Each structure stands twice: as C-alpha cells, then as structure tokens.
Structure 1
Amino acid sequence: MNSKRTMEKATFAGGCFWCLEEAFYKLKGVIKVVPGYAGGDAENPIYEEVCTGKTGHVEAVQVTYDPEKVSYKELLITFWCSIDPTDTGGQFTDRGNQYKTVIFYHNEEQKRLAEKSKKILENSNLFSEPIATEIKPFKNFYPAEDYHHRFFKKDPFRYHHYKVNSGRAKYCEIVWEKKNGRKLLEENL
C-alpha cells in the first residue's frame, strides 16, 4: 500500500498576493501557499520588475493542496470570494496589469471547473459589470521574495490596515457574504 498521497497545485492571481495567501492558508487540506509571479515572459522576475507592469507577470499564489481534504471547487470558491471579479484594471487600490485576476489551470478538470464557476457568476445578478477574470493555461510561476511570504503573519497590523483601507475587506463582505455570492457558488459549482 502506498501511503504517500499525491498533492496537487492550483495557481490564482487576485491583486495583492498577501490577501490571497491568507485566504488559502485558512483552508484545511492546503499544505502550502507561496506568493509569487505568474504568466509572464521574463525569467525569475523580482518585485520591482513586476511592479512596472512590463514583465507580463501578475502577482499570484501557488497553492499546494491535498485533494482528499480540500477540493479544487473549494479553492475556486475561496478565490472568487477574495476578489472583485469585475475590475479590469487591477484590484481595489492596486492598479495595473500586474494586479489583474487570473485563474491559471494546471489540467483540463481545473479548466472545466474554472469556466463553470465563471459562467455561474456571469449568469447571476450579483454584478452590474461583466466578469473580467481571465482563465489561462498555467505557464510559469516564480516565488516572490521572502519578505512577502506569510506577510499577514509577519506584520499583521500593516496587513490588516492594507486589507481594510484598500476596500477589499468591505467589498468581499458585502458581495460574497451579504449578497450570498459564496452561497451561490457553493450550491451551483
């Protein structure tokens, strides 16, 4: 009997990677969450390069998870409930292409579920604007500098200040909790 489980990866971009990292770390079955840069053309980019918007990368997180404990559907729901999927220019106070929202799929099942989840939101009455989140094949991922890892734990005051003052916390509370966006996804995905 092989006792070694196969872990899977999922990659999401949703604006500032600090907020996505915290959201995924809360899930039972998530083994590791690494903030970094995904989808661009430059190899081994650094934060200052990505911030220019010229590398083609977006701030992202790569999630390693145990599919026997947490499903990809649960990861998708967590992702959607952490972002404003209608923002075409970034996320909240973070502006620029490097802050766009993207689901990077690693296999056909992830692609199918990502597209289904997006379609659910497009067909709902939750948003007055179109869903701007892109769904793309996974291309690459480069871990961010160490000081970005677990920032929500390293500097909780600064992190909380950012999350609240950027408007992310309030938006997510209103759309995903009060307007039942989370429930919509849970019941239909």
Structure 2
Amino acid sequence: MAKAIFAGGCFWCMVKPFDSLPGIEKVVSGYTGGTVPNPTYEQVASHMTGHTEAVEITYDPTVITYAALVEIYWRQTDPTDAMGQFQDRGDSYRPVIFVSNDAERKIATDSKAKLAASGRFEAPIVTQIETTQPFYPAEAEHQDFYRRNPLRYQIEEMGGRSKFIKEKWQA
C-alpha cells in the first residue's frame, strides 16, 4: 500500500471523490503542514498553527496509480484559488499536492503544467506542490462526514464546489 496527501479546501469534501474508487483502502481527514504536533480542529481553525486541512489516501498502486489520483484531485478543486476553496477561506483551506518523493513530484509538476497549458482556466494554476510533512488525523467527528451527515455535507457542497466542478470539469 502507498499513501497520498491532498489538500483542497474543507476535508469533508475531499473524502467522497476518492473513497469508493477501486484500489482505495481508506481516506482519512486530517491536518498537515503546520508547526504544532497533534493539532485540534479549533487550533487549525484559528489559523495560528500553519496546518492545512487535507486527506490522506491509502491506496494499492497496482490498482490505481498516483498519477490517476492527481488527476482526480484536480477535478475536485479550483486550482486558481491560492487562499481557500469555494466558501472556505484562509490558509488552512489552501490547495496543495503533498509529495513524498521525486517520482511523485515529477508526476504532480507535469500534471500541473499540462493543466496550465490546457487553457481550461483563464487564471494561473496556483496549487502548491510541497514535500509531505507529518499528517495528523482529525477528530472522529470529521471522519466519513459525508456518510454520517449527508444533509450538512450537501449544504457544504452547495457552497460553490459542485457548481464549479460541473462548469469546469463536466462540460
């Protein structure tokens, strides 16, 4: 098994797109990229820890590749918005592909360049590609949120993400 970490706004909205794909063992909501070990949701929400909400995906690379995961990631985010995603604003919601090695960095960098050259977006692609840092799972109430809280999840999705995805990716 391998792991991939992606940040694309609220971690609740980043679980479902990966969760049921073949080769995915689990998707965990959590925090990464900050300076405080084992941060709480309240600490991250204060924007004082430097952490970003993210998902850690455990997957079987013989079934689904890292490159495929990166492509799925792009289709969940607005890669032109550096300081949040949709209604979620601030550094803790910034879009980031976290890479663990040179091979992942090349895949992510090449994919980002391909997206930039595609002309799909008028604004520059600003999603960061950063080295993986310690990942801290979020509290239990944030795990599998879309399954346990379908109505609240639907409201979160209506915050602009679903409309954007439909307009930019499904057209």
Please report the TM-score for the alignment, with normalisation by the length of structure 1.
Answer: 0.89
1:65 paired with 2:95, answer: no
Partner of 2:170: 177
Q: CA deviation at 1:122?
A: 1.2
Partner of 1:45: 39
Q: CA deviation at 1:26?
A: 2.4
Q: CA deviation at 1:78?
A: 1.1
SS of match in other structure, 1:50: helix
Partner of 1:135: 129
Q: CA deviation at 1:51?
A: 0.6
Partner of 1:168: 161
- Given candidates 86, 96, 116, the residue that maps to 1:102 is 96
Partner of 2:25: 31
- Counting matched residue pairs gives 171
SS of match in other structure, 2:55: strand
What letter matches 2:163 in structure 1? K
2:21, 2:152 → 1: CA distance? 23
5+ unaligned residues in a row in structure 1: which ranges? 1-6, 179-189
Deviations 1:102-137 (A, max 9, x none): 000012111110001100111121111111100001
- 4+ runs deviating over 4 angstroms: none
What letter matches 2:140 in structure 1? D
Partner of 1:18: 12
- Given candidates 69, 72, 78, the residue that maps to 2:72 is 78
Deviations 1:110-166 (A, max 9, x none): 1110001100111121111111100001011000000000000001111012102x1
Please report the TM-score for the alignment, with normalisation by the length of structure 2.
Answer: 0.98
5+ unaligned residues in a row in structure 2: which ranges? none
2:100, 2:169 → 1: CA distance? 26
1:84-123 to 2 correspondences below 5 Å: 84-123=78-117
Deviations 1:51-92 (A, max 9, x none): 111111100000000001111111111110000000122000
Answer with 1 or 2: which has the greater Rg. 1
2:105, 2:83 → 1: CA distance? 23
2:47, 2:80 → 1: CA distance? 20
1:56, 1:37 → 2: CA distance? 10
Q: CA RMSD in A?
A: 0.7
1:54 paired with 2:48, answer: yes
